[in-house]
Amino acid sequence: MTELSKIQMSILIKCCILVGCSIGLISNCIGIFYTPIAESLGTGRGQVAVISTIISLSSAFAGQGVARLIKKKPINIVMCIGVIMTSAGVLLLSYVRKLPYFYILAAVIGIGDICFKNLTVSIVLRSWFGGRSASKLGIAMAFTGIAAAVMNPILGKIISSAGYQTAFRLLAVMIAALSLPAAYTTHLNENEEDAPVKGKDGQTVRKGRTQIPVFVMAMLCMMPLCIAGATGMNTHFSSYAVTLGYSLSFGATVVSFQSIFNSIWKIVYGILADRVGAVKSCLIYLGITIAACLMLMTLTKIPAGIIAAVCLYPAAFSVSTVGMPTIVQNVAKERYGEVFATVNMLQTIGYATFTSLYGVISDRAGAYLPCLMIVIVCAVLCGFTCIFSEKGRTAEKN
């Protein structure tokens, strides 16, 4: 193994740790705290669940600021600041006793979180792996599910035996202990043509700037909204199983299969994208998502068919977490950070909107069939935005 490949392997491992902690241990584990916090504060789970929404939205809106900060400061310093903010915020969650303080700390955690998750990690991987970074991003993003699968049962046992406060403290220590060394020792490849360089005043700057056509930018902004519509059903599959007459236990099994295949599809997507390109991979995966919806609509009386469909559906998340960043990288080039921050913000807002919308629609219709039809429409539209964003960029070059 050459010296360069050893460094690349080290960078990949660090990126896996960073997204595993920022997404896996925060976004994917926070739900287990809803009930104990609600019981402790004497409030409803819905009010506590707002914590997760605040974390997501504060991350989304802070993305632009982080993208600009990366251009001026070393990326490892930015990530370290994010790790410290996140772990400190989680630690303080174990001490506060009023809901508004939970909301304030959730905002702090969200801002810190965006500093060392998909935005910065994708920039690092592109710097070191160039045009073949999709497979590496897929591997890294798969660790979000693996981290959550390992830690959720552990945190559940700690909450039951020692209380949620102890679980929060353990989580804070884990995030700091794992992420801080990884973040501090991660840097961009200065030999990469798009890597930052030092200006005359000593400030870090980028070489050149890509001008993105208005049409292409419009497609890049529509893409996250469409994929949000295609992925927004994921939190409803347990309820969907119940509406079909299945037990809650079966619904929980469905969710478990969905989580497992969420990680598998991401790894496969990354490998496929490096071989056939990001857009073709997105189209294949969106086709799989549509097939899953059709199975959910037609195989309602066959438990194995429902499970198979739910195993296929997480392919949509690969488009969201691996495909979309890869397409933005190809189109935006050195403007990737700021463009992806905008795209990520739109996706977060869109996902929150569609998740709630599907709940409202299912309540009024008494079924999830209209929701599945919307998912199919959104997947088709997402496919068009992928094609047009690349073709529009190619036409501009010619």
- The CA distance from 302 to 299, in Å, is 5
CATH 1.20.1250.20 holds for 3-190: yes
State residue 210's pLDDT score.
57
| Mean predicted confidence (pLDDT) in 211-225 | 84
Higher-pLDDT residue of 101, 324: 101
* Neighbouring C-beta atoms of residue 165, cutoff 10 Å: 18
Q: What is the pLDDT of residues 273-320, one digit of tens each?
A: 888 888 888 999 999 999 999 998 898 888 888 889 888 988 888 888
Sketch the domain layout of the chain as residue ranges: 3-190, 214-397
Closest CA to 331 of 182, 239, 215, 167: 215
pLDDT at 190 over 80: no
For the chain, the average pLDDT equals: 83
Higher-pLDDT residue of 371, 31: 371
State residue 169's pLDDT score.
94
Q: What are phi and psi of 210, to 5 degrees?
A: -85, 130
Confidence of residue 119 (pLDDT cuts 50, 70, 90): confident
For residue 180, give Cα distances in angstroms to 17, 121, 124, 211.
10, 14, 16, 35
3-state secondary structure 312-354: HCCHHHHHHHHHHHHHHHHHHHHHHHHHHHHHHHHHHHHHHHH
In CATH terms, are 3-190 and 214-397 the same topology?
A: yes
CATH number of 214-397: 1.20.1250.20
